[in-house]
Amino acid sequence: MESLKEKIRREGVYLGSGILKIDSIINHQVDATMMLEAGAEFARRFAPFNPTRILTAEVSGIIPALTTAYALGLPLVFARKHKPITMREPTFVEFAPSHTKGGRVSLMVSSEFLQPEDRVLIIDDFLATGQTISALARLVRGAGAQLVGIGTLVEKSFESGRAALAEWDVPIESLVIITELRDDGTIVFADDFHGCA
Does residue 92 carry a pLDDT above 80?
yes
Fold that domain 2-189 belongs to in CATH: Rossmann fold (3.40.50)
How does residue 104 score in pLDDT terms, banded at 50, 70 and 90?
A: confident
How does residue 97 score in pLDDT terms, banded at 50, 70 and 90?
A: confident
Across the range 73-78, mean pLDDT stands at: 98
Predicted confidence (pLDDT) per residue in 15-64, tens digit: 988 899 999 999 899 999 999 999 999 999 999 999 999 999 988 899 99
How does residue 196 score in pLDDT terms, banded at 50, 70 and 90?
A: very low
Across the range 120-127, mean pLDDT stands at: 97
The more confident residue out of 81 and 141 is: 141
How does residue 85 score in pLDDT terms, banded at 50, 70 and 90?
A: low
The pLDDT, as a whole number, for residue 102 is: 66
Can you give the three-state secondary structure of the chain, one letter per residue? CHHHHHHHHHHCEECCCCCEECHHHHHCCCCHHHHHHHHHHHHHHHHHHCCCEEEEECCCCHHHHHHHHHHHCCCEEEEECCCCCCCCCCEEEEEEEECCCCEEEEEEEEHHHCCCCCEEEEEEEEECCCHHHHHHHHHHHHCCCEEEEEEEEEEEHHHCHHHHCHHHCCCEEEEEEEEEECCCCCEEECCCCCCCC
Predicted confidence (pLDDT) per residue in 158-176, tens digit: 999 999 999 999 999 999 9
Model pTM score: 0.92
